[in-house]
């Protein structure tokens, strides 16, 4: 496996993003909403950089199933969310690929009446975006490769890696890349 982004580079960038968020929210309370499951490590490292009143909740949105590396229909489960009416929201996701997830979730949260919404992604995959959405905070722009580690998975494995790696194409099932 090829290492794309080192653990130290990730930690440095997460700290920088935390500083930007801290400045932008200026002490205001923020409701952090993480997109399960890929955001867990990024979210946990990022919120520890924030000296703000923070509430943390999760929702599930997924377009990948099993050992596929090609997105399908987006399924959203927001049953774990509290009332967000008038709240400042920070939506955190692991990767901006096609933009489908962030676009749909941003619209969904606005329809629930949030006061403001900002988005943070660890990675932005270049050359794949189909929906016009710009994250407010982005860790790294990466090439169009299938990445794993630091929360990102392949068939529910590799999330625990402390770095971002590119999965060897020989490890992918035929016809699934």
- 97 belongs to the catalytic site: yes
Q: What are phi and psi of 170, to 5 degrees?
A: -70, -15
Catalytic residue among 45, 97, 144, 153: 97
* DSSP conformation letters of 81-132: ----TT-EEEEEEEEESSSHHHHHHHHHHHHTT-SEEEEEEEEEETT---S-
Please say whether the beta carbons of 47 and 22 come within 8 A: no
**Rounded-to-integer distance, Cα 143 and Cα 120, Å:** 18
**Burial class (CB within 10 angstroms; exposed 0-12, middle 13-18, buried 19+) of 126:** exposed
Which tokens in the block code for residue 175? 């016809």
**Rounded-to-integer distance, Cα 159 and Cα 117, Å:** 27
Nearest to 2 by CA among 148, 173, 152: 148
Any idea which residues carry the catalytic annotation? 97
């Amino acid at each position: 496996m090829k290492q794309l982004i080192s653990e130290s580079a990730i930690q440095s960038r997460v700290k920088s993003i935390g500083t930007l968020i801290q400045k932008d929210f200026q002490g205001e309370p923020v409701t952090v909403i993480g997109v399960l499951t890929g955001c867990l490590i990024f979210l946990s490292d990022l919120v520890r950089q924030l000296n703000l009143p923070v509430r943390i909740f999760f929702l599930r949105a997924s377009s990948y199933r099993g050992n596929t590396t090609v997105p399908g229909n987006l399924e959203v489960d927001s049953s774990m969310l509290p009332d967000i009416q008038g709240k400042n929201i920070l939506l955190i996701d692991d990767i901006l690929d096609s933009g489908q997830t962030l676009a749909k979730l941003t619209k969904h949260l606005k329809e629930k009446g949030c006061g403001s919404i900002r988005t943070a992604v660890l990675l932005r995959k270049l050359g794949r975006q189909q929906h016009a959405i710009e994250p407010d905070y982005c860790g790294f722009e990466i090439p169009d490769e299938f990445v794993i580690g630091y929360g990102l998975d392949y068939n529910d494995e590799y999330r625990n890696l402390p770095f971002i790696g590119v999965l060897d194409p020989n490890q992918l099932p035929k016809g699934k890349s």
